[in-house]
């Protein structure tokens, strides 16, 4: 819907402005910059700093008004350059600087500081303030990641507003009043938030700094490029910055389609693990009778190729399995998919172990993030955005504040449950009515519904999850679907997983049909000769270290990995892989949007990109993948005739974020916001840096070559995942005496090799916690803070917390190797609860 326009006069120029926007935004649109500190385009206006005063003509004459707080009105006459305006701005700036320590030379913000910039533009060269300045103890750590310098603070309310309004975690607030107004945490409660880094990014002075970046570099020494955070498939747009071949920090870029400039701490501080060389795999190595020896790439690859060749010859292609983890680029994924399918010709391939749902449901009628947030109704199905796609949690909170009506369907409540319209529990004791309740909650409003579909609850089997979602989609046939799965989009898009949408898989090659669980099970039974773990820790798939040891005795494990893990410890062949920020490429996010990845530093040691390793292995196996460069892969994908038809890098020169795929999807390109240095200090020049990513040529889709990621046939004739799903009876075997339903849900800081490599974030790792409804706890005699042993397929010792939310049964928070032991192949996991003997 085009914006309604009104006639305004800015500084004597007759112009048109969008009706209803804040005057400051209209002035921005008109190219008139009004200085500001407290105003942030993604938060509500508070009018505190008074820096944006302009003169507005009203019925009682011209008066100074804060342009951030008044709406543009028809006929409005505004003066931004008058003497009164200049005097007011000059005065406010002098007031702000009066107590500011002016320690710019030792301040991290120096060089990219809105206060510094605006002092140059609107301030005086000399101070009239000869009094003693305010003094505070400093710096004060308000969390493990954030330090506060109260002397630099200009009380703009940005950080406190972010915490309260955007993150919904009001853990910092003002204390005191008047000249002693200061930011404070509450007594002994840290600013412990998944989103704490944002406050340092939006701080218009150096009052809030992040511990990892503190004193690391000067802004003018940083090299930056536009990239995409790959910690989850949200696809947050970032400015990736480095100094002296080391990643220094990551800042959010305001992408209207995706992250609105926000990042989560998991993403923002992931640069620290890339830099942690001690935890990185840096050289190829082989394990033999004499132990582990470093070898050359050639020798390692030869060993890998001959092992694979022998396995194929002796035991068939299916004895070679490939499991892939979360951080492969689209190009890496495609190269390995092609290697597995066309060269090795194995069906034992899973690059999307986290996708425990039929991927066809995700792609039949895809919705973008913005479509989901603008729908009349959004159904959150088995997804916990805060822990799985954290920045989406922020977008959802903002959309709900603006009126989005959400029906949440989850076995365990989330942090959104308190603010959604309706919460429908997935109750294993009463599954049959779940979807009835969801449809009823939509109040007959079935026309503009988006379902965000995930597979958050690990205790809920893939077939059951698919059946429930399938039933929902068949009952709301016009619903669009947005994937709520944090990892695996690239693999789904190129058919590198058995869960990939039907018809998207290779035509000439072999289709994946064994998933990660069955591959691991087969390996434990000795049926897999070679297991390639691509950036994948097998312990993350629920193996104990003992099982991993015994597996590696019978199976040759080839680990291509960025980080050391139990898997690299026990693998026969270990190959170093370049990590985030060390390689170019691209990736897809949950809405199938194509996003660029920037290379900002040299790979550590001898690390290489996974796609290069694939091409070399292919040639050593006597075949060719047919590409030598990234552009070759892009071209091949573009010509595949599948959902990635038309893929190209040229889009990135037009906009920060790339297009949605398939390209036939319509997207209203909203006005591209000019990067506002006051909103995102530190990333002002990213537009000019955008061309850093070599633009490819426009490639027209054409006939697909041998390996294809095409739909095969037109999507219309695909077997409907919906109808086949509905056919299944949703019925669980009832509990036996002493059994309980269990939910197992992930948390953002669940232990992983990457997280353990992060010196700052690893401190946030917590033991799994069993949250129990108070009534159930009483029945089982479980005390708050006590321990118990859960016995399912395996067993795990866990800490007990009594639920403060609507948790119905046993909810185990924390997906770890230990807790995954509980999972079997049932539709829903049942456990027995034993009193802990510890």
Partner 1 sequence: MTDRIVGARLHYEDSQTLERFLATGGDQGLRKALLELTPQEVADQVTTANLLGRGGAGFEAGRKWSMLRKAPRRYLVINGDESEPATFKDHLLVENDPHQLVEGATIAAYAIEASFVVIYLRGEFALGLERVQQAINEAYARNALGRSIFGSSFSVDIVLQPGAGAYICGEETSLIESLEGKRGFPRIKPPYFPAVIGLYGEPTIVNNVETVSNLPWIVQHGGEAFKELGQGRSTGTRLFALSGQVRRPGPYEVEMTKITFRDLIFDQEYGQGLDPGRELLAFIPGGVSAPWFFPEHLDIPLGQDEVAKAGSMLGSGSVIVMDDSSCPVRSAWRIARFFARESCGQCTPCREGGAWIDKILRRIEEGEGRESDLDLLLDLCDNISPGIKWPPAQTTICVLGPSIPPSVNAAIQHFRDDFLIHIKEGRCPHA
Binding positions for partner 1, rule: CB under 8 A: 45-51, 53, 63-64, 69-70, 84, 87-88, 90-92, 94-96, 98-99, 128-129, 131-132, 154-155, 173-174, 176-181
Cβ atoms of residues 696 and 631 within 8 Å: yes
189 CB burial (10 A radius; 0-12, 13-18, 19+):
exposed
CA distance 210 to 264: 13
Q: Which is closer to partner 1, CB of 183 or CB of 300?
A: 183
Q: How far is the CB of 59 from partner 1 (least distance, A)?
A: 13
DSSP 680-745: STT-TTHHHHGGGS------------SS--B-SS-GGGSPPHHHHHHHS---PPPPPTTEEEEEEE
Q: Which is closer to partner 1, CB of 24 or CB of 389?
A: 24
CA distance 362 to 488: 12
Which residue, 698, 684, 600, is CA-closest to 654? Answer: 698
Within 10 A of 415 (CB to CB), how many other CB atoms are there?
17
Q: Which is closer to partner 1, CB of 131 or CB of 546?
A: 131
Q: How far is the CB of 89 from partner 1 (least distance, A)?
A: 10
Q: Which is closer to partner 1, CB of 86 or CB of 650?
A: 86
Q: Which is closer to partner 1, CB of 63 or CB of 717?
A: 63
Residue 492 tokens read as: 């789904």
Q: How far is the CB of 793 from partner 1 (least distance, A)?
A: 49
Q: Which is closer to partner 1, CB of 134 or CB of 635?
A: 134
CA distance 306 to 286: 13
Q: Which is closer to partner 1, CB of 169 or CB of 511?
A: 169
DSSP 317-370: GGGEEEEE-S---HHHHHHHHHIIIIII--S-EES-TT--S-THHHHSSB--HH
3-state helix/strand/coil string of 284-299: CEEEECCEEEECCHHH
Q: Which is closer to partner 1, CB of 184 or CB of 826?
A: 184
If DSSP codes are grouped into helix, strand and coil, which group holds residue 835?
A: strand
Across 395-405, b (16+ Cβ under 10 Å) vs e yields bbbbbbeeebb
Q: Which is closer to partner 1, CB of 204 or CB of 598?
A: 204
Q: Which is closer to partner 1, CB of 68 or CB of 755?
A: 68
Q: Which is closer to partner 1, CB of 48 or CB of 643?
A: 48
Q: Which is closer to partner 1, CB of 165 or CB of 173?
A: 173
Cβ atoms of residues 227 and 596 within 8 Å: yes
Q: How far is the CB of 401 from partner 1 (least distance, A)?
A: 15
If residue 362 lies in a helix (H) or strand (E), which one and from where to where?
Answer: helix 360-363
C-alpha separations of 71 from 10, 629, 672 in Å: 14, 52, 21
Q: Which is closer to partner 1, CB of 84 or CB of 102?
A: 84
Q: Which is closer to partner 1, CB of 60 or CB of 716?
A: 60
Q: How far is the CB of 474 from partner 1 (least distance, A)?
A: 42
**292 DSSP β-pair partners:** 287
Within 10 A of 65 (CB to CB), how many other CB atoms are there?
17
CA distance 55 to 775: 62
Which residue, 670, 605, 637, is CA-closest to 258? Answer: 670
DSSP 97-115: HHS----GGG-TTTTS-HH
Which residue, 1, 49, 4, is CA-closest to 24? Answer: 49
CA distance 735 to 394: 38
Region at 287 (left for phi over 0; alpha for psi -120 to 50; beta for the rest): beta
CA distance 273 to 375: 38
CA distance 381 to 356: 13
Q: How far is the CB of 659 from partner 1 (least distance, A)?
A: 40
C-alpha separations of 332 from 63, 540, 610 in Å: 60, 21, 5
Q: How far is the CB of 105 from partner 1 (least distance, A)?
A: 23
CA distance 349 to 75: 65
CA distance 558 to 208: 44
**Strand bridging mode 285-288 / 405-410:** unpaired
Q: How far is the CB of 122 from partner 1 (least distance, A)?
A: 13
If DSSP codes are grouped into helix, strand and coil, which group holds residue 623?
A: coil
**174 DSSP β-pair partners:** 183
Chain position carrying tokens 């920020």 = 581
Q: Which is closer to partner 1, CB of 48 or CB of 829?
A: 48
Q: Which is closer to partner 1, CB of 176 or CB of 526?
A: 176
């Amino acid at each position: 819907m085009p914006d309604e326009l009104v006639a305004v006069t800015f500084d004597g120029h007759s112009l048109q402005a969008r009706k209803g926007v804040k005057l400051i935004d209209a002035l921005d649109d008109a190219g008139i910059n009004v200085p500001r500190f407290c105003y942030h385009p993604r938060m509500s206006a508070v009018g505190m700093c008074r820096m944006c005063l302009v003169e507005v003509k009203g019925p009682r004459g011209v008066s100074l008004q804060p342009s951030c707080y008044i709406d543009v009105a028809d006929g409005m006459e505004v003066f931004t350059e008058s003497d009164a305006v200049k005097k007011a701005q000059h005065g406010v700036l002098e007031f702000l600087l009066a107590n500011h320590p002016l320690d710019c030379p030792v301040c991290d913000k120096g060089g990219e500081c809105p206060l510094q910039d605006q002092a140059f533009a609107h301030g005086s060269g000399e101070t009239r303030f000869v009094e003693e300045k305010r003094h505070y103890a400093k710096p004060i750590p308000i969390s493990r990641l954030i330090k506060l310098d109260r002397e630099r603070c200009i009380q703009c309310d940005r950080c406190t507003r972010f915490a309260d309004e955007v993150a919904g975690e009001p853990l910092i607030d003002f204390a005191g009043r008047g000249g002693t107004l200061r930011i404070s945490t509450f007594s002994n409660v840290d600013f412990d938030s998944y989103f704490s880094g944002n406050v340092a990014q939006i701080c218009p002075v150096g009052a809030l700094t992040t511990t990892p970046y503190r004193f690391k570099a000067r802004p003018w020494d940083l090299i930056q490029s536009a990239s995409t955070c790959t910690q989850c498939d949200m696809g947050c747009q970032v400015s990736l910055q480095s100094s002296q071949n080391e990643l220094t920090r990551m800042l959010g870029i305001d992408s209207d389609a995706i992250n609105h400039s926000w990042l989560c701490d998991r993403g923002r501080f992931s640069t620290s693990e890339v830099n942690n060389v001690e935890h990185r795999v840096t050289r190829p190595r082989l394990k033999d009778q004499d132990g582990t020896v470093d070898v050359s790439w050639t020798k390692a690859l030869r060993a890998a190729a001959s092992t694979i060749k022998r396995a194929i010859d002796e035991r068939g292609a299916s004895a070679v399995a490939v499991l892939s983890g979360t951080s492969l680029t689209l190009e890496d994924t495609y190269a390995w998919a092609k290697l597995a399918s066309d060269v090795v010709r194995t069906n034992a391939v899973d690059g999307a172990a986290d996708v425990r749902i039929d991927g066809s449901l995700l792609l039949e009628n895809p919705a973008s993030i913005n479509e989901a947030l603008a729908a009349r109704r959004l159904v959150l199905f088995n997804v916990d955005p805060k822990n799985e796609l954290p920045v989406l949690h922020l977008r959802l909170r903002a959309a709900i504040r603006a009126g989005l009506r959400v029906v949440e369907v989850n076995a365990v409540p989330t942090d959104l449950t308190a603010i959604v319209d309706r919460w429908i529990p997935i109750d294993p004791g009463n599954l049959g009515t779940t979807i009835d309740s969801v449809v009823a909650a939509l109040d007959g409003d079935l026309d503009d519904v988006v379902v965000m579909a995930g597979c958050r609850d690990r205790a809920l089997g893939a077939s059951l999850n698919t059946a429930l979602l399938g039933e929902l989609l068949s009952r709301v046939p016009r619903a669009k679907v947005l994937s709520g799965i944090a990892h695996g989009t690239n693999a789904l898009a190129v058919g590198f997983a058995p869960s990939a949408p039907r018809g998207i898989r290779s035509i000439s090659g072999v289709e994946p049909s064994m998933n990660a669980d069955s591959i691991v099970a087969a390996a434990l039974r000795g049926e897999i000769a070679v297991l390639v773990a691509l950036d994948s820790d097998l312990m993350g798939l629920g193996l104990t270290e003992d099982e991993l040891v015994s597996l590696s005795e019978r199976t040759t494990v080839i680990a291509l990995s960025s980080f050391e893990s139990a898997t690299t410890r026990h693998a026969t062949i270990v190959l170093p892989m370049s990590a985030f920020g060390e390689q170019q490429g691209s990736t897809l996010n949950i809405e199938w949007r194509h996003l660029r990845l920037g290379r900002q530093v040299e790979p550590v040691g001898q690390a290489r990109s996974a796609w290069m390793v694939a091409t070399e292995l292919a040639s050593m196996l006597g075949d060719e993948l047919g590409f030598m460069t990234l552009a070759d892969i892009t071209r091949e994908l573009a010509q595949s005739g599948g959902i990635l038809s038309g893929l190209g890098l040229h889009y990135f020169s037009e906009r920060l974020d790339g297009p949605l795929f398939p390209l036939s999807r319509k997207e209203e390109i909203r006005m591209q916001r000019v990067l506002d240095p006051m909103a995102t200090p530190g990333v002002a020049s990213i537009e000019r840096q955008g061309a850093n990513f070599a633009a490819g040529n426009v490639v027209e889709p054409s006939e697909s070559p041998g390996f294809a990621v095409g739909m095969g046939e037109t999507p219309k004739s695909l077997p409907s995942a919906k109808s086949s799903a509905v056919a299944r009876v949703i019925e669980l075997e009832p509990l036996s005496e002493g059994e309980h339903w269990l939910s197992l849900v992930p948390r953002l800081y669940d232990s992983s090799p990457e997280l353990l490599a992060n010196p700052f974030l690893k401190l946030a790792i917590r033991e799994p916690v069993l949250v129990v409804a108070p009534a159930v706890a009483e029945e089982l005699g479980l005390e708050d803070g006590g321990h118990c042993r859960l016995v399912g397929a395996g067993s795990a010792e866990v800490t007990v917390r009594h639920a403060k939310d609507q948790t119905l049964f046993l909810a185990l928070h924390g997906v770890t190797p230990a807790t995954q032991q509980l999972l079997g192949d049932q539709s829903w996991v049942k456990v027995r609860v034993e009193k802990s003997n510890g």
